[in-house]
């Protein structure tokens, strides 16, 4: 075979190593504990946009490769771990392209007592430390981003207006959230973060996932995403602590999965039991490390910053 060589240069691999070391110092200086949770888990996520890889071990029970360490880390938080972070590989099916590899590296962390704005500030500090150069800072609401780039209010625009904005492109099944996601991914996101860090917050409540709703505007969730040079780098939440509400959201996801003919599995009852026991007030974020290396090195493809992408693994 002719593809045994790595796709990243030795210089890039050295840069990755330095960035990992910098991240660990960053959290050590803030007394955030490093943890290491399992790659193989009992329950997949319910999110309709994320596909969990199933694995077979020594018995008939199905297991899954985690798509994020979030569920396990929240169990640690509920057990009294305090502030924690993790640098780990995760796997998501059907994700491959210029900026996607099915297996990639996340830096995920949780801060007790932090507001969403405090977490956004810390994310910006870490990104600047890892990239090694000054970057500006911009904060937009989700609504402001849509108004600026599409002249549409995502909370009041009709489905017809959203469909028209996506004209000439494939918005998938055409549900409202799919249309909003499609427009953010293809029309808005690529324009964000030009020579700066752009934080977009206040996503629709229907896209809250594991985030709390905004008590001042129930249409919006306490969730943000970070963009730089058109790349989505991070996704953060003021974490939902209600087991009842989280179960209801998971059930809604499963209903939508059945509608789409997607695989459905039992809920992660251990996570729900942990929430029932009491998740401390906290904010958490997942930062895509490989894309951050792309930003730091000027790489145009994720393959340039990975030793071996999936096809060469």
Q: Is the pLDDT of residue 67 over 90?
A: yes
Tens digits of residue pLDDT in 88-135: 999 998 889 899 999 999 999 999 999 999 999 999 999 999 999 989
Q: What structural domains and CATH numbers belong to the chain?
A: 10-312 (3.30.930.10)
Under DSSP, is residue 235 helix (H, G, I), strand (E, B) or coil?
strand
- CA–CA dist 27, 132 (Å, integer): 16
* Least confident stretch, 24-28, 44-48, 58-62, 70-74: 58-62
Q: Which residues contact 182 (CB under 8 A, 6 or more apart)?
A: 166, 169, 170, 171, 172
Residue 155 CB: number of other CB atoms within 10 A? 15
Q: What percentage of residues in the chain have a pLDDT greater than 70?
A: 97
For position 231, what pLDDT does the model report?
95
pLDDT bracket for residue 6 (50, 70, 90): very high
For position 257, what pLDDT does the model report?
92
Instruction: Please state the pTM of the whole predicted model.
Output: 0.94
The whole-number average pLDDT for the span 296-302 is 96
Rounded to 5 degrees, φ, ψ at 82 are 80, -165
For position 9, what pLDDT does the model report?
97
pLDDT bracket for residue 211 (50, 70, 90): very high
The whole-number average pLDDT for the span 189-194 is 95
For position 167, what pLDDT does the model report?
80
pLDDT bracket for residue 170 (50, 70, 90): low
For position 173, what pLDDT does the model report?
56
- CA–CA dist 52, 265 (Å, integer): 10
If residue 17 lies in a helix (H) or strand (E), which one and from where to where?
helix 10-29
Which contacts qualify for 35-40: CB closer than 8 Å, 24 or more apart?
Answer: 35/73, 35/76, 35/81, 35/84, 35/85, 35/86, 36/86, 36/88, 37/66, 37/69, 37/72, 37/73, 37/76, 37/86, 37/88, 38/66, 38/72, 39/65, 39/66, 39/88, 39/89, 40/64, 40/65, 40/66
Beta strands in the chain (DSSP E): 33-34, 40-41, 54-55, 63-65, 84-91, 103-112, 136-141, 196-201, 213-214, 217-221, 223-228, 231-238, 282-288
């Amino acid at each position: 075979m002719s593809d045994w060589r790595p796709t990243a240069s030795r210089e890039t691999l050295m840069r990755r190593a330095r960035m990992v070391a910098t991240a660990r110092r960053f959290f050590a200086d803030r007394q955030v504990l490093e943890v290491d949770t399992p790659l193989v888990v009992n329950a997949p996520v319910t999110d309709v946009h994320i596909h969990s890889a199933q694995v077979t071990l020594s018995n008939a029970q199905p297991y899954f490769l985690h798509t994020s360490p979030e569920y396990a880390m929240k169990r640690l938080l509920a057990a009294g771990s305090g502030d924690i972070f993790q640098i780990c590989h995760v796997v998501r099916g059907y994700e491959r392209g210029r900026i996607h590899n099915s297996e990639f590296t996340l830096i995920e962390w949780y801060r007790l007592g932090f507001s969403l704005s405090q977490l956004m500030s810390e994310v910006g500090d870490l990104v600047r430390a890892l990239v090694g150069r000054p970057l500006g800072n911009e904060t937009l609401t989700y609504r402001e981003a849509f108004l600026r780039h599409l002249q549409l209010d995502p909370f009041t625009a009709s489905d017809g207006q959203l469909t028209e904005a996506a004209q000439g492109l494939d918005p998938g099944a055409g549900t409202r959230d799919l249309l909003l996601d499609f427009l953010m991914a293809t029309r808005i996101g690529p324009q964000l973060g030009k020579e700066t860090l752009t934080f977009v917050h206040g996503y629709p409540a229907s896209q809250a996932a594991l985030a709390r709703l905004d008590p001042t505007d129930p249409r919006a969730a306490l969730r943000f995403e970070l963009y730089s040079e058109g790349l989505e780098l991070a996704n953060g939440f003021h974490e939902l602590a209600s087991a009842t509400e989280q179960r209801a959201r998971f059930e809604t996801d499963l209903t939508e999965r059945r509608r789409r003919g997607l695989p459905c599995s039992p809920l992660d009852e251990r996570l729900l039991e942990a929430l029932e026991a009491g998740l401390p007030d906290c904010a958490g974020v997942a930062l895509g490390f490989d894309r951050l290396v792309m930003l730091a090195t000027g790489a145009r493809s994720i393959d340039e910053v990975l030793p071996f992408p999936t096809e060469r693994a």
